[in-house]
Amino acid sequence: MLDRIAQALRLTDVEREHLFLLGLGRPPEVRYRAAEGVTPRLQRVLDAMETSPALVKTACWDVVAWNRAAAAVLTDYGALPPERRNVLRMIFCDPGVRAAQHDWEQVARFVVAVFRIDAARAGAAAEVDPLVEELCGSSPEFAAIWRDNDVRSHGDGVKHLRHPVLGSIAMEYSAFAIDGRPDLAMVVYNPAAPADAERIGSLIRPPA
C-alpha cells in the first residue's frame, strides 16, 4: 500500500524511505538501479585526492569513475572499454592485475565475499547473475570461491601491490557509501607512508 502511495505522489527515493520509516518503522525494500556515471561534483571529490587512488564502483563492481592516481597506480580504466572495467573480471581474467597482487588468492577471496554482500544489499541479485555465470564458466578459481558462499564487509585495511614502475607499494583502503545511491560505493586508497605518496605523485605530476 505504501508503495502505491509513493508512486501516486511521485515521491523521491528519500521521501519514499521516510514514508516507510513513519508507517512501518523500517526502510523499504531496496530497488536496484544501474549506475549512469557520477555527478560532476562527485568526480571533483575524486580529483581532489591527488596522490590517493580513488574510484566509484557499482554493486556489480563495474568501475564508473576514478581519479588520475587510480589510473596510474591501479588500472588505466580509461584505456579499457566499459565492459572490461569490472573488478572481478580483472582479478580473475587479467594476468597483469593478477600478477600485481602480493597474495592473489587472499585478494580474490576477499573480493568475491564483499561482492556477494554488496549485490545483496543493493538488491542486485538478478543483475549480477549473468556476470557470475560468465566468470564461473571462464574461471574455475572463481567458481570454486563462489561456491564457498563467504560474505564480508569491505571495511578498511591495507592493500599491497607490485607496481611495474614503483615496485612494492602499500596503501590503506577505506570504502564509503554514497548517500542516496545504494548502487554505488567509493573506495579510497591512501598511501601508507609519506614516501609512498611522493612516489605516486611522481607518476602523475609532469616533470619540472
Sequence spans of domains, the chain: 1-31, 37-204
Q: Residue 4's pLDDT band (boundaries 50, 70, 90)?
A: confident
23's grid cell? 508507517
Q: Is the pLDDT of residue 117 over 90?
A: no
Task: Give the C-alpha separation, 58 to 44, whole Å.
Answer: 18
One-letter identity of residue 171 = M
* CA distance between the termini of the chain: 64
Q: How far is CA 68 from CA 47, 54, 79, in A?
A: 7, 9, 12
Q: What is the pLDDT of residues 25-47, one digit of tens each?
A: 655 565 656 667 788 999 999 99
The CATH number of the domain covering residues in 37-204: 3.30.450.180
Q: Is the pLDDT of residue 14 over 60?
A: no
Name the 3-class secondary structure at 207: coil
